Chains A and B, each alone.
Chain A
Amino acid sequence: MAEMAAYPVDAIAGAGGSVTFTGTVRDYSEAADILAMEIEHYPGMTERELERISAEAARRYDILDSLIVHRYGHLAPQDNIVMVAVWSRHRAAAFDACRFLIDLLKTSAPFWKKEVTLAGARWVTDCPGCRAGGREGHTHAPYTHYSHTQLK
């Protein structure tokens, strides 16, 4: 299982703090318990997109550095999938940039999740709420996150 660091961190002098977000594999879905998650990506484009959104965050927010690590391949429930970290002089920029990065990653970075359950494997469809940035009228209640239809 490989990991990708899109933006190596080597200089965070002057930082007043950092914010990190870590995403994990859920152990439930609409229909069945999840046994495993397969994550496909587009080698070359995925790294490029992560670099692009990192650069965009640096343009928009007063941050010192950021790091995105996203796993692919075979994962188990409760494994970490993604980590976003942001360093800044003041906390507000780090919180805002971290949220910006994970929201944009979910709608632009070429990764695709496939759930493996006892009933078989199926591709996870994208969530309109997440596509809208996850900020409006949008909750992920247990057992509904992957049904999506009620969110349209």
Chain B
Amino acid sequence: MIYVKFFASVRERVGVGEISLLMPEGGVTVEEVLSLAEDETGVLLQDAHLLAAVNLQHVPFSGVVHDGDEVAFFPPVTGG
């Protein structure tokens, strides 16, 4: 399984904070996890400003995702 989390405006658009996806055979990239999440939720999330993390670390969309990983999608951060 891949555990996908959404935060802030992305979470509100999706309607839930977390979903899980079946791990496809052959491995996936963050970009592909995003497409799977869009299929699962029916919400388009592609956005030039969207950011991603895998296992609590910032990653590019080309990053590799393994079975059991936690993948998060969120807008640019605005703390401080």
Contact = CB atoms under 8 A, between A and B. Distances in A.
A93 interface: no
Question: Which of A23, A39, A40, A70 has most chain B Cβ within 10 Å?
Answer: A40
Interface in B7-46: 7-9
A111 interface: yes
B77 A109 contact: yes
B56 A108 contact: no
Contact of B80 (A45, A111, A123): A111
Interface stretch (A27-35, A99-107, A136-144): A99-107
Interface residues of B, number: 17
A112 B8 CA distance: 6
B78 A112 contact: yes
B42 to A, nearest CB: 21
Interface of B: 5, 7-9, 49, 53, 56-58, 72, 74-80
Nearest to B79: A111
Given A42-B72, A45-B56, A48-B57, A110 B7 contact: yes
A63 B42 CA distance: 49
A82 B76 contact: no
Contact of A126 (B7, B53, B78): B78
12 contacts: A39-B79, A42-B72, A49-B58, A70-B80, A82-B80, A106-B80, A109-B80, A111-B78, A111-B79, A112-B74, A112-B75, A123-B8
